[in-house]
């Protein structure tokens, strides 16, 4: 009996968690770090004050994450705080995640894309009009001159609860950031309450900003069809309602053609797809508490998982 119990327990270790990421999902890859970079970005260390190369640096451009290349700060928001580390009074929208520091008093800032430790954020010091100071380790940053900053593009996908769609796209190589929001309805500035009521016409949609040099629109659209069930009618998993329907919002003829080509490919593979292909409309960003929900809560998607369909 004890032997059977042990075998059963060991078997459970190899059973995927419901709603988790499938083992075939492409894992996010990061840049190789030096031991000192790893000490700061991974193990939450701090470089010595006044020692970083970007402390007095005044070049025009953007500061990217050393670990994953995500764009974090603009040089237009950098200021001299005399604190010994590069200081910024603003961030690229959606690029920074905040959490209580281990010391229980300060607020740590991390790259929202890869979780790398960047430094801390302070408010109430009245050093700039924005009254905010992101105190960042130079070693956590890579500066990209304005003329060399890679262009990004944005795609829009609706596939049920945006928490899961956002989470899986943010862990896809080539994606800079994913933002939860609403698209497709006529009501301006919709709230979550408006959308869940089912009368606004909006779908829970994710705006996926990506680097075309690292991933194509077609690859993202294929990935979209493989992280949700495009055959389900009227919702996704246990989430039923108009706002949870599946759709690709295209912005040009090339995106529309890609979407329809993938629909035909799925049909040829035996799938009866319910995904709508619709022209993009105004994207309304969802409330802050919806952004990076799974990263903040430490949970995993309950109705989204990778499944190869092509």
3-state helix, strand, coil split of the chain in percent (to 5) is 25, 25, 50
Active-site option among 68, 111, 135, 303: 135
Say whether both 116 and 75 belong to one domain: yes
Say whether both 158 and 261 belong to one domain: yes
Provide the CATH number for the domain around residue 63. Answer: 2.170.150.20
CA distance 243 to 253: 25
Residue 101: inside a domain: yes
Domain end residue (candidates: 93, 124, 148)? 148
Structural domain tally of the chain? 2
Residue 302: inside a domain: no
Domain residues for the domain of 54 are 35-148
Q: Is residue 83 flagged as an active site residue?
A: no
Phi, psi of 169 (to 5 degrees): -70, -40
Tens of pLDDT, residue by residue, the chain (310 residues): 444 333 334 333 333 333 333 333 334 568 899 999 999 999 999 999 999 999 999 998 999 999 999 999 999 999 999 999 999 999 998 899 999 998 889 999 999 999 999 999 999 999 999 999 999 999 999 999 877 656 789 999 999 999 999 999 988 888 988 999 999 998 999 999 999 988 899 999 999 999 888 899 999 999 999 999 999 999 999 999 999 999 999 999 999 999 999 999 999 999 999 999 999 999 999 999 999 888 888 888 888 999 999 9
Report CA torsion sign: 261, 267, 270, 273: positive
Q: Is residue 65 flagged as an active site residue?
A: no
* Strand (E) or helix (H) holding 166: helix 162-170
Provide the CATH number for the domain around residue 199. Answer: 3.30.1060.10
CA distance 36 to 41: 9
Residue 30: inside a domain: no
Phi, psi of 144 (to 5 degrees): -120, 115
Say whether both 140 and 195 belong to one domain: no
Active-site option among 65, 111, 114, 161: 161
State the pTM of this model: 0.58
């Amino acid at each position: 009996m004890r032997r059977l119990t042990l075998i059963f327990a060991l078997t459970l270790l190899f059973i995927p968690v419901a709603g988790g990421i499938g083992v075939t999902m492409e894992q996010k890859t990061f840049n190789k770090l030096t031991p000192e970079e790893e000490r700061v970005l991974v193990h939450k260390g701090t470089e010595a004050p006044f020692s970083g190369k970007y402390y007095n640096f005044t070049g025009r451009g953007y500061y990217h994450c050393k670990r994953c290349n995500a764009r974090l700060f603009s040089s237009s928001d950098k200021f001299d705080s005399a604190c010994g580390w590069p200081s910024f009074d603003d961030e690229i929208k959606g690029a920074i995640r905040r959490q209580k520091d281990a010391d229980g008093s300060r607020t740590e800032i991390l790259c929202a894309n890869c979780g790398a430790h960047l430094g801390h954020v302070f408010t109430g010091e009245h050093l700039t009009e924005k009254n905010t100071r992101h105190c960042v380790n130079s070693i956590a940053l890579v500066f990209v001159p304005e003329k060399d900053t890679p262009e990004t593009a944005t795609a829009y996908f609706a596939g049920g609860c945006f928490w899961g769609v956002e989470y899986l796209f943010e862990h896809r190589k080539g994606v800079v950031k994913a933002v939860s929001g609403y698209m497709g309805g006529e009501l301006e500035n919709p709230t979550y309450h408006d959308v869940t009521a089912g009368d606004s016409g909006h779908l829970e949609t994710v705006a996926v900003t990506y680097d075309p040099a690292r991933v194509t629109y077609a690859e993202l659209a294929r990935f979209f069809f493989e992280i949700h069930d495009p055959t389900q009618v009227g919702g996704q998993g246990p989430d039923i309602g108009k706002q949870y329907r599946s759709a690709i919002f295209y912005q040009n003829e090339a995106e529309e053609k890609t979407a329809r080509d993938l629909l035909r490919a799925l049909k040829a593979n035996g799938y009866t797809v319910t995904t709508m292909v619709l022209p993009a409309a105004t994207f309304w960003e969802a409330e802050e508490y919806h952004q990076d929900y799974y990263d903040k809560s430490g949970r995993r998607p309950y109705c989204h998982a990778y499944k190869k369909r092509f």
